[in-house]
Amino acid sequence: MTEQRGNFGSKLGAILATAGSAVGLGNIWRFPYMTGENGGAAFILIYIICVLLLGIPCMLGEFIIGRHGASNTYRAYSKLSEGKAWKYVGLLGVVTGFLITGYYAVVAGWCLQYIFATVMGHLNGTPQYYIDYFNDFSTNPLRPIFWTAVIIGITHFVIVHGVRGGIERASKLLMPTLFVLLLVIVVASCMLPNASQGIRFLFYPELDKLNSEVFLGALGQSFYSLSIAMGCICTYASYFSRQTNLTTSAIQIGIIDSIVAILAGLMIFPAAFSVGVNPDSGPSLIFITLPNVFQQAFGGSSFVGLIISLMFYTLLSLAALTSLMSLHEVSTAFFYEELHISRKKGAVIVTISTLIIGAICSLSLGEWNFLSLSGKNLFSIFDFVTGQIFLPLGGFLTCIFLGWYVPKDILKSEFTNWGTLKGTFFGIFLFLIRFVCPISILAIFLHQFNII
């Protein structure tokens, strides 16, 4: 017997949970670096345009599919298409979310290990020490898997408590905590000597750095950062109430996500420039460069240094956890609704299988490094297949589905909450989802394979 579906109990809860999905490692380890490297303020401007014209409409589209379907992503697409092949686009979202959960959990586990290392006083040494520490840890066969299991265990605990008692309650606690931690580190970082150089690096508009690559980079980043085309947004929207204003919610989430990304830049660059360290991107930024920067800027063995480092890794863990919750929920909803089992059993299936995927990914960085394909380890393969193939494919097909297949009156009634809202922007939404979004997604997809 299928249990009664849960839903979000309040508007704030729904917004915070969905913003929790969006705000994640992508905001902290990717956005700041891309901004600094790709034209500073000019990049931020392009990014915001991408969020407004592409990210928010696609999020709104997923909201419509999810709330209309009031079921997991696969079934939601199936309902709207009356069982036609479009349901496989929904399934693609579920598969993408499922595959990401495993490797995202590994990185989230690393964040937990770094909280532990900070408390134990291990994050204190020469720049080379941080490189060795990270390489030793991430290639260790057992420790990363232990922390992956811990973070998946916490996620499981939240998920089995349901949408309202688990996801919503946790998001209402974790998201404000995340903001406070972020703000405190931003202030501490901006008060360091020479911090202004970092602020300048981030915000100085360098128009000559703008080219087509930068545009496509901003577009890809906006989709990843808003968790689009991975089933998450659609699944969360299936728990929205009929009163939720979908347009306002998508705009609010887009704004929250962009503010966090910009604040992450203000946390990282002033500190890095203050001690003259060149920031880089990806895992090495947060697990090698930043512990070194924080140690030099605030004093590794001093109380302030310890607190800042502790706050930083707690912030990262919270950001990763709220995204992980949404990823886990995509598959949990799918399993329990499609297999007609309890929510708890669905969650157990997801937890165990993502733990296995996570463990294999983690081992592929060390002892199982034979698990590679043309020089790419399993970790990068997962990242590539989900982020560069499934994400654009799912996003593109969703736009075509909504813009050209789903009857306009269904879209309009969801958009206007069955005629109770004005729907002033409906025409613009339709235009964006029919033309601008699919063409842009196609452009990034083809460009990354050097086809255009």
Rule CB under 6 A: say whether 225 interacts with ligand PFF.
Answer: yes
Q: By CB under 6 A, which span of 176-184, 227-235, 247-255, 305-313 interacts with ligand PFF?
A: 227-235
Contact of 265 with 32, CB cutoff 8 Å: yes
The three-class DSSP label of residue 377 is strand
Single out the residue of 20, 26, 395, 403 in contact with ligand PFF (rule: CB under 6 A): 26
Of 29 and 273, CB closest to ligand PFF: 29
Q: By CB under 6 A, which span of 155-163, 238-246, 275-283, 323-331 interacts with ligand PFF?
A: 323-331
Q: By CB under 6 A, which span of 137-145, 161-169, 226-234, 346-354 interacts with ligand PFF?
A: 226-234
Tokens representing 20?
């929790």
Distance CA 115, CA 128 (A): 20
Single out the residue of 64, 202, 232, 311 in contact with ligand PFF (rule: CB under 6 A): 232
Tokens representing 344?
């708890």
Distance CA 452, CA 445 (A): 9
From 215, 231, 245, select the one nearest 54 (Cα to Cα): 215
Rule CB under 6 A: say whether 327 interacts with ligand PFF.
Answer: yes
Single out the residue of 227, 258, 289, 295 in contact with ligand PFF (rule: CB under 6 A): 227
Contact of 271 with 443, CB cutoff 8 Å: no
Size of the site for ligand PFF (CB under 6 A): 16
Q: What are the residues facing 256 on neighbouring strands?
A: none
Tally of residues, the chain: 452
Single out the residue of 14, 19, 22, 311 in contact with ligand PFF (rule: CB under 6 A): 22
Distance CA 282, CA 262 (A): 16
Q: By CB under 6 A, which span of 22-30, 113-121, 301-309, 345-353 interacts with ligand PFF?
A: 22-30
Single out the residue of 6, 24, 55, 198 in contact with ligand PFF (rule: CB under 6 A): 24
Rule CB under 6 A: say whether 224 interacts with ligand PFF.
Answer: yes
Distance CA 22, CA 28 (A): 12
Q: Reduced to 3 DSSP states, what percent helix, strand and coil does the chain have, rounded to the nearest 5?
A: 75, 0, 20
Query: Which DSSP letter does residue 53 get?
Result: I
Rule CB under 6 A: say whether 398 interacts with ligand PFF.
Answer: no
Please report, as residue ranges, which positions from 85 to 104 form the binding site for ligand PFF (by CB under 6 A).
Answer: 97, 100
Rule CB under 6 A: say whether 155 interacts with ligand PFF.
Answer: no
Distance CA 2, CA 426 (A): 35
Distance CA 20, CA 43 (A): 24
Of 297 and 316, CB closest to ligand PFF: 316
Rule CB under 6 A: say whether 219 interacts with ligand PFF.
Answer: no
Of 22 and 308, CB closest to ligand PFF: 22
Per-residue contact string for residues 166-205; x = within reach of ligand PFF by CB under 6 A: ----------------------------------------
Rule CB under 6 A: say whether 220 interacts with ligand PFF.
Answer: no
Rule CB under 6 A: say whether 27 interacts with ligand PFF.
Answer: yes
Determine phi and psi for 342, rounding to 5 degrees. -75, 160
Q: What angle do CA 168, 8, 84 make, to 5 degrees?
A: 115
Which residues would be at the binding site for ligand PFF (CB under 6 A)? 21-22, 24-27, 97, 100, 224-225, 227, 230, 232, 323, 326-327
